[in-house]
Structure 1
Amino acid sequence: MATKPTQYPGLLSSSRITTLFASLIVALSSGSNYVFSAYAPQLAARLQITHTQLNIVGLAGNVGVYSSGPFWGRIVDSRGPRILLVSAFILLLSGYSGMKYIFDTGFPPTSTTISTLTFCLLVACSFMTGAGGNGSFTGSVNSTAKTFPDKARATATGIVISGFGLSAFFFSTISRISFAGNTSSFLQLLALGTSMPMIMGFFLVRQIPLPPVDSVASLEHAAEDAIDAGAMDVEEAENSALLEHAEVDDAATPVQLSRRAALSQGLLPNVYGRKLWTSSDFWLLFLILSILSGTGLMYINNVGSMAQALYAKDNSHYDPVEAAHWQTAQVSSISLMNFSGRIFIGLVSDITKNRLSLPRSYSLTLVSSFFFLSQVAAANVDNIKNLWIASGLLGLAHGSAFSLFPTVCIEWFGLPHFSENWGYLSASPILAANLFSVAFGRNLDAHDRTPSETGHPGPVSGLALQCLEGRQCYVDTLYLTVGVTFLSVLLSIWAGWRDRSKIVSSREKFANSRGEMVWENSERD
């Protein structure tokens, strides 16, 4: 008796669509780490911690993101997304609930600030929110990539990734409408709004089997490698890997043909391990990404304090609710432009390569220029109404960077060890982010004054330290980032030139090898 063939759900079947939309909701709840500036100044004012300490709290969330990726990737590859979603539920609920409890409790009446132990708990809670959000996002993207066939995989994962990019906009908009000036309620919203969707995801986010013809090993490995890579923004690498494979398989332009031929001749690199660590190309990319992402994280974590400083300048009637509106407006601008940047740079880099016959690394100069312009704009903004310009440019730059760099990593070092290579590169933000953020915090602390010294009510009357000098409160740090981002522009130009030179050299080697083969064959004839 013949065995009945296995029936697989269609592309638009209810099971696949359910996984897609459930993953989108989970992703939308996973990017709350970037909404930190919407409540950070109020947190500092309530707990009487310095801006330097506040930056340490924000950085703990970033470290939770970038350090947990490889751990989550190994689990989801071997056990599926459910463990990640349960862990994310616990970490997000505990993290934000802990921050709310510490905020509500404040500092003891006999002290002027919180204890060292309480501050360490606050840092731990921030770390949990970063690690939890990264875990849920990793699970959602992994499940989506393994649920849809090659012809729809890039689109499906792109939808989920866009949900993560809009997470900060989603929560900051709710804060502006419903919880302006009420930080405790906003932290409660984050605790429930980020954790409860994980319960839904536990039951609905799952891998739907693909027919054997669609289970192309190379594409699945590319998707899994991207998940292993290790950071929330890094998941865009998955699309890049898939598109890179598609480019090799399709009818190609002369540039693509030379790349495919070079691959078959072993002329394209497969760099990893010790060879990677001794590669000047790796350290060049590492330095550029460290500068750019460090600048981005510094701005994202401190734009709320910048907004308050600008709003407080020459404002004798300080309104905490209106100040909170300006804070969340900056977060929304960054989030929306971050989402746009991911799409924009993908189109630009494809046009650069496919139509202009130039390597994608040329787009590094454009991304670095966005960062440079954002810092120049921020350093010159002295009115709160214009700060959105700098915030929008920074969001565009940050989204573009984490969409482009994984692709460049693949093109420079090869796909077989992409997970390992990008894991090292994606750790680069931690170095510069710590340096720039601590410098920013110390700069603000140096300009802070108490309400009794200024006669100004401050963000929280009678409690908060507040700088009333507008952009002078922090502009010295922005001069630093203007300088280093300009350096990144120069380094990006050099990186593009090096890449172009190597591609030309590879083509010449391939042409020479073909010429020698033709000459040998003609001699035999």
Structure 2
Amino acid sequence: MRQSGRLWALLGSVLISISAGSTYVFSSYAPQLQTALHLSSTQLNVLGLAGNMGMYMSGPLWGRWIDKSGPHGAVLVGALLVLSGYGMVSRAYKHEWHDMPVAILAIFCMLTGLGNSAGNNAAINVQAKNWTGTHRGSAMALVLSAFGLSAFVYSTLSHVFFSGNVTGYLDLLALGSFGCFIAGMALIKVIPPSEEEVQAESARRRSDYRRVPEEDRETLQSSRALPKHLSRMRSSSETSARVIAWIRDVADAEEAVDDDNVEEEQEQEETAHPQENVTGWALARNVDFLLLFTILGLVSGSGLLLINNVGTITHVLYEYARQQRKQASALTQVLLLLIKDGKEHEIQRIQALQVSCISLGNALGRIVIGVVSDMVVLRTKQPTYRTYLIIPVVVLATLSQGLFALPNVINSVEHLMLVSCLTGLMYGTLFGLFPVLIFEWFGMQSFSQNWGWSSFAPVIFGNVYNLLFGMVYDSNVPKQGHSHRCLKGEECYRSVFYVTTVGCLVSLVVCFVLLWRRVGNFSSRVRSLFSERRLAIE
């Protein structure tokens, strides 16, 4: 009975999360909103950033409320916020409220971010508390993947049912999100593991420990490798689940292992590598946190730049291709002729395709980084080696931004599709890895607060990059008229990606500094690892 209740709660969390990521579909209707409301590109980016600020900056506040009062109130308030936010944006578009101050429109967009943040935090909270370590990781991965797929679901629905009908699309976002939140709220329920389940989990771990042959254990202890590896291996299988702030009580209960040998190993580990809880001003002064903050900001800021402006970029490349049809590639011509009944239908369809690519890459990246991260830890027996996974994340970001910066490379909508996929993959891996590092490095007790402060990095750097994009784009728009359309193709915005590419290269340098501080000499660690294996064989 308890298990079936958890499964229904899991379905409710998935329903909520499948709509909670709709903040990322902004670019799929942004160009049409810009035209209807006579907005400049800078003003349009202010609206997108307002949604992102609502999403990223409110997480700690929602988490505190959910911890104290449960998830249902937060989900209900989130549903009302999303309904009112998208509903007002829809009315503004339909009735062309171009005289409305941009600050008021930004508040409407911020409401959508606030509501989605409430729903996502509540959905994660329930699954973090409902499962033991055996199943918690799978449940969390399912919820996080649904969040990443949200933009794909809504952009696909817009293409199928609301092609060329932006008002209908915005109403779908309002009513669909509200309906999913309410349906999910009716299903979610906190059903924490019983004492028997916790004891069974602890017994399983003790039996896993005892399966290690005594002679191998002594050999490894002689090389002083086991105290570190055993404790870390036991915790690494739950890492993806424990990065959630609200599992402290459950995790504490599951850590109460009675086996004297395991306790002795933990004491030795704590002596050699104390798990201190770093937060507040101590966190702000911590060099490793500042390095992580810098990487997170520079990389996620470049991702948010494309996520918020892919609709505008699609529009620019589409219009430029129409002007240069004789020079356009065959695939571009096919995309331009997919729909016969109007240019706006074509543009909205291609925008939805680009958003879908980002969304699918985002969801795939979250899954892949979790699997690869656990494999690295299990194969190397060294959780610190997880830090090396920052390198491919930063390389993906540098590659995507560098392709934009090169002239005559991303000059058509099908080339843009490639970069959209790369950016989505980078963004998913980034936000699948960094919460784990924050949790492992600075402690579980204040993880919610620490990750909340970390989430300011995308807001800060995303603001800078997006506003820079808006200013560069507006500088290339003809001064007469209200179209706010640049007709220069990729030259409308390409110089912005020089800045983001340099930022990604800087983050790569910072990444190596961080590796040097956290992991140390890689070659010596490899030699040590092989020497341990040789001793075990002998």
Deviation at 1:163, TM superposition (A): 0.8
Q: How does 1:338-357 map to 2 (within 5 A)?
A: 338-356=362-380, 357=382
Match of 2:123 in 1: 140
Match of 1:337 among 355, 361, 383: 361
- 2:487 aligned with 1:468, yes or no? yes
Deviation at 1:464, TM superposition (A): 2.3
Closer, same or farther in 2 for the Cα pair 1:475/1:64, shift >3 Å? same
Report the count of equivalent residues. Answer: 458
Match of 2:418 among 389, 392, 395: 389
- 2:107 aligned with 1:124, yes or no? yes
2:523 & 2:391 partners in 1: Cα distance?
A: 20
Between the aligned residues of both structures, percent identity stands at 35
Any conservation in 2 of the 1:92–1:133 contact (CA below 8 Å)?
yes
Any conservation in 2 of the 1:377–1:389 contact (CA below 8 Å)?
no
Q: Alignment RMSD, CA only?
A: 3.1
Closer, same or farther in 2 for the Cα pair 1:239/1:350, shift >3 Å? farther
What secondary structure, in the 3-state scheme, does the structure 1 residue paired with 2:244 have? helix
Deviation at 1:258, TM superposition (A): 8.8
Match of 1:114 in 2: 99
Any conservation in 2 of the 1:241–1:407 contact (CA below 8 Å)?
no
Deviation at 1:352, TM superposition (A): 3.0
**What amino acid maps onto 1:74 in structure 2?**
R
Any conservation in 1 of the 2:140–2:241 contact (CA below 8 Å)?
no
- List runs of 5+ in structure 2 lacking aligned partners: 203-239, 258-263, 324-335, 337-341, 526-538
- List runs of 5+ in structure 1 lacking aligned partners: 1-8, 108-112, 220-233, 251-256, 454-461, 507-525
2:524 & 2:35 partners in 1: Cα distance?
A: 59
What secondary structure, in the 3-state scheme, does the structure 2 residue paired with 1:166 have? helix
- 2:282 aligned with 1:282, yes or no? no
Deviation at 1:10, TM superposition (A): 4.2
Deviation at 1:210, TM superposition (A): 2.8
Match of 2:510 in 1: 491
Match of 1:416 in 2: 445
What secondary structure, in the 3-state scheme, does the structure 1 residue paired with 2:193 have? coil
Runs of 4 or more consecutive aligned structure 1 residues displaced over 6 Å after TM superposition: 239-250, 257-260, 502-506
Q: How does 1:429-508 map to 2 (within 5 A)?
A: 429-449=458-478, 464-501=483-520
Match of 1:321 among 323, 338, 345: 345
Q: How does 1:371-386 map to 2 (within 5 A)?
A: 371-379=397-405, 380-386=409-415
Deviation at 1:498, TM superposition (A): 1.3
2:427 & 2:291 partners in 1: Cα distance?
A: 18
Match of 1:67 among 57, 64, 79: 57
* Deviation larger for 125-134 or 19-28: 19-28
Match of 1:207 among 185, 190, 208: 190
Match of 1:311 among 318, 321, 325: 318
- 2:244 aligned with 1:238, yes or no? yes
1:240 & 1:504 partners in 2: Cα distance?
A: 38
* TM superposition score normalised by structure 1: 0.81
Match of 1:518 in 2: none
Any conservation in 1 of the 2:243–2:435 contact (CA below 8 Å)?
yes
1:382 & 1:23 partners in 2: Cα distance?
A: 40
1:391-439 Cα shifts (integer Å, max 9, x gaps): 0110000001111111111232222322222221121111111100000
Deviation at 1:497, TM superposition (A): 1.8
Deviation at 1:469, TM superposition (A): 1.4
1:104 & 1:144 partners in 2: Cα distance?
A: 39
What secondary structure, in the 3-state scheme, does the structure 2 residue paired with 1:208 have? coil
Any conservation in 1 of the 2:321–2:412 contact (CA below 8 Å)?
no
Any conservation in 1 of the 2:45–2:308 contact (CA below 8 Å)?
yes
Closer, same or farther in 2 for the Cα pair 1:486/1:284, shift >3 Å? same
**What amino acid maps onto 1:337 in structure 2?**
G
Any conservation in 2 of the 1:362–1:493 contact (CA below 8 Å)?
no
2:74 & 2:124 partners in 1: Cα distance?
A: 12
* TM superposition score normalised by structure 2: 0.79
Deviation at 1:40, TM superposition (A): 0.3
1:173-220 Cα shifts (integer Å, max 9, x gaps): 01112212211111011110111122212321111243123458x99x
**What amino acid maps onto 2:399 in structure 1?**
L
Match of 2:84 among 83, 88, 94: 94
* Deviation larger for 274-283 or 462-471: 462-471
Match of 1:294 in 2: 301
1:341-389 Cα shifts (integer Å, max 9, x gaps): 1111222223333324462111111111111111122333011121111
- 2:32 aligned with 1:51, yes or no? no
2:463 & 2:242 partners in 1: Cα distance?
A: 24
- 2:387 aligned with 1:361, yes or no? yes
Match of 2:152 among 162, 166, 169: 169
Match of 1:110 in 2: none
What secondary structure, in the 3-state scheme, does the structure 1 residue paired with 2:519 have? helix
What secondary structure, in the 3-state scheme, does the structure 1 residue paired with 2:456 have? coil
